[in-house]
Amino acid sequence: MCGIFGCILREGSAVKQITEGLKRLEYRGYDSVGVATIDHGELEIRKDAGKIEDVVARHRILDMKGSIGIGHTRWATHGAPTMVNAHPHADGSRSIALIHNGVIENYMELKEELLEKGHEFKSRTDTEVMPHLIEEELKTGVSLQGAFLRALRRVRGSYAFVVLSTVEPDKIYCARNESPLVIGVSENGVYCASDVPALLPYTNKVNYLRNGEMAVLTLNGYQIIKISDGSTVERGLTDITWSPESAEKLGYTHYMLKEIHEQPSSLRDALRLQERYLNLLTTFLDRGKEVFLLAAGTSYHSCIAGSYLFSRLARLTTVPIISSEFIERYGSSVGIDSIVLAVSQSGETYDTLKAVDYARMRASTVLGITNTVGSTLTRVSRAYLIQQSGPEIGVAATKTFTSQVLVLAQMALKLAKLRGKLSQDELDEFQEKLLRVPEWVEETINKQEERVKELAKTHMDDRFFVFLGRGISSATALEGRLKLMEITYVPSLAYPAGESKHGPISVVEDGVSCIFVCPQGDSHSHILGSIMEMKARGAKIISICEEGDEQVKKLSDEVVEMPREIPEELSPIVYVVPLQLLAYHMAVLKGLDPDKPRNLAKSVTVP
Ligand code: AGP
């Protein structure tokens, strides 16, 4: 996610409102910043890596002239946070400045085509192809609007684009596909921004652009055009009643809830991985004599799910290991034939980085999956993948967990293909299921949140919970338990259900709530036995099961029914959502702040 802001003013300096607007969007990304303005027909761009206030001071951005401009605060997905990778990006003639939020899937092919036509690129970003594409279309003699439309029709992926150009210096062009973009109108000017918080100090009269729409902003207002056929869309302004503070969470009470609801979108971006890096990591995994999946906390739970996926799909044995245990446990045995795949949302977790350093010292190959471009993990990894979840502000990981599992699923599928472990039909079928994951998560949120709220209310005074799952669902159970403990502080237990009779079942007694994760699949028949075991000891049975699963429903006191056809291998991504919502709503009912749980930090960068 990145923060975008643009404005055309009747009076006053654009750059002042742009920098104020970007500051209110800082939660959307904060590793680099840039502004472009036009004054007397001259386009100026100032940008750099760093926080907004630092870059504004360092480059005296407030000195920029002009009553029209655009600005961007970045959360890197392609290319580390550096000056050259910061937005805005310009075309070769420097008459077009463009900012972008999203992921251009086909940027490599577009870039190669433009390179052949003599275009030169300065950055490693996907975004930079866009101003050059517009420049190329302008050469055919069409208007800037025509060139922008043609370029948009060539792009695949998610975007919120905003364009400023000396070709038409009194207009701002913008376009949206999946990444949010909202237009605002006030007495003094016309605006566009990623989110409402940036607009509220100037206007509460807004118009949300929809997917596949472009807009032209002038001092007279705005015109919305359909990208597909160039037809005009008539849609008036709506009034926003949020306070600026609540608007930062887009009306959600907490970032955690916003981030849970963002998962359909963040999962779609997790399906837009950079193919060449996915291939590179897969090649390394294929060569390793032994593969460790290294992580802490929620990321470790992703690794547990990943180990099932690598085994089931690619017949590759991997060892998930908690970062703080790695050196003591495997430090003497890892070596040049070992692959260590470190998974870390922040890319800065001390335990994970310490284990990585040790593995490198032992000549192992270190690979990385992270959400943070430019993080330490990206610098110490031989190769890495960015999961593209956007900033996660809530301390409890939610969207970054589901994206990590989806990334690992794609890697396992890629490896299965490389190793010839699945038939083409099996590969195609699983790929189709992968693409349906965002819609399953969306359906679950829309259909089950009210049900889960009731569960939270019913069980808010429970003093203890047991989370159980079998097979890959043991990862889901562990993650659901961590969410609940982290933000409601209620002691909870989670382990593979088959382990119950080896001791843990002794804590189960009348009234203890047992939450079972039981998708359809190979483990389903076993989980029925586990449910009966707990039921016989008086436990309250809460089951997360497939819609219409009468076997489980008959044994359960309460159920949350999930969409049909979700393959067991992908179930952690979808079945964790009710558990995230349960933890969140129970914390709120208890009067706790889910975004800032006691004793915890978002990134544990200390030993
Ligand atoms: C999860 O909700 C917690 N925030 C915590 O367990 C976290 O997953 C862990 O500290 C690892 O963080 P990382 O992914 O940034 O390495």
Q: What is the DSSP string of 186-252?
A: -SSEEEEESSGGGTTTT-SEEEE--TTEEEEEETTEEEEEETTT--EE----EE----HHHHHTTT-
Residue 440 domain-assigned (yes or no): no
Residue 60 domain-assigned (yes or no): yes
Tell me if the pTM is above 0.85: no
Instruction: Indicate the pLDDT class of residue 247, thresholds 50, 70 and 90.
Output: low
Is 166 in the same domain as 278?
A: no
Strands 182-185 and 189-193: antiparallel
How many whole angstroms from 116 Cα to the centroid of ligand 1? 44
Buried residues in 108-132 as b, exposed as e (16+ CB within 10 A): eebbeebeeeebeeebebbbbbbbb
Residue 600 domain-assigned (yes or no): no
Pocket test for ligand 1, best of 255, 256, 260, 298 (most atoms within 8 A of CB): 298
Asked whether the beta carbons of 341 and 383 are under 8 A apart, the reply is no
Last residue of a domain, one of 232, 247, 262: 247
DSSP E strands, 83-136: 89-90, 96-104
| Residue 323 in contact with ligand 1 by CB distance below 6 A | no
Is 271 in the same domain as 225?
A: no
Is 322 in the same domain as 379?
A: yes
Residue 418 domain-assigned (yes or no): yes
Q: How far apart are CA 468 and CA 472, in angstroms?
A: 11
Mean pLDDT of the chain: 94
Q: What is the pLDDT of residue 246?
A: 64
Q: Look at residue 76 and tell me whether its pLDDT is greater than 90.
A: no
Residues whose CB falls within 8 Å of the CB of residue 338, separated by 6 or more in sequence, listed in order: 288, 289, 290, 291, 292, 359, 362, 364, 365
What residue numbers bound the domain in which 60 lies? Answer: 3-247
Q: Look at residue 241 and tell me whether its pLDDT is greater than 80.
A: no
Residue 294 domain-assigned (yes or no): yes
Is 388 in the same domain as 450?
A: no
How many whole angstroms from 300 Cα to the centroid of ligand 1? 8
Strands 540-546 and 513-518: parallel
- Give residue for tokens 């291998």: 569
Percentage of the chain lying above the pLDDT 90 cut:
85
Q: How far apart are CA 594 and CA 588, in angstroms?
A: 7
Residue 223 domain-assigned (yes or no): yes
**N- to C-terminal Cα distance for the chain?**
30
Last residue of a domain, one of 247, 269, 301: 247
Q: What is the pLDDT of residue 601?
A: 76
- CATH for 573: 3.40.50.10490
- For residues 315-339, give the mean pLDDT: 97
Q: What is the pLDDT of residues 402-443, one digit of tens each?
A: 999 999 999 999 999 999 999 999 999 999 999 999 999 999
| Residue 577 in contact with ligand 1 by CB distance below 6 A | no
Is 465 in the same domain as 519?
A: yes
Q: How many domains does the chain have?
A: 3
Q: How far apart are CA 204 and CA 207, in angstroms?
A: 10
Is 230 in the same domain as 294?
A: no
Q: How far apart are CA 319 and CA 66, in angstroms?
A: 58
Residue 351 domain-assigned (yes or no): yes
Q: Look at residue 308 and tell me whether its pLDDT is greater than 80.
A: yes
Q: How many CB atoms lie within 10 A of CB 443?
A: 16
Closest-CA residue, ligand 1 atom 5, reads 297
Q: What is the pLDDT of residues 96-141, one digit of tens each?
A: 999 999 889 999 999 999 999 999 999 989 999 999 999 999 999 9
Q: How far apart are CA 607 and CA 605, in angstroms?
A: 7
Residues whose CB falls within 8 Å of the CB of residue 249, separated by 6 or more in sequence, listed in order: 255, 257, 258
Is 241 in the same domain as 301?
A: no
How many whole angstroms from 405 Cα to the centroid of ligand 1? 14
One-letter identity of residue 51: K
The pair of three-digit structure tokens given for residue 361, joined into one six-digit string: 């010292």
- CATH for 166: 3.60.20.10
Last residue of a domain, one of 422, 455, 474: 422
Of 467, 465, 462, whose CA–CA distance to 479 is shortest? 467
Is 232 in the same domain as 353?
A: no
How many whole angstroms from 465 Cα to the centroid of ligand 1? 21
| Residue 298 in contact with ligand 1 by CB distance below 6 A | yes
Give the side-chain half-sphere CA count within 13 A for 331: 14
Give the side-chain half-sphere CA count within 13 A for 478: 19
Say what angle helices 297-314 and 399-419 make with each other, to 10 degrees. Answer: 20
Is 264 in the same domain as 199?
A: no
Q: Look at residue 607 and tell me whether its pLDDT is greater than 80.
A: no
Residue 520 domain-assigned (yes or no): yes
Is 152 in the same domain as 84?
A: yes
Is 243 in the same domain as 253?
A: no
Is 272 in the same domain as 357?
A: yes
| Residue 603 in contact with ligand 1 by CB distance below 6 A | yes
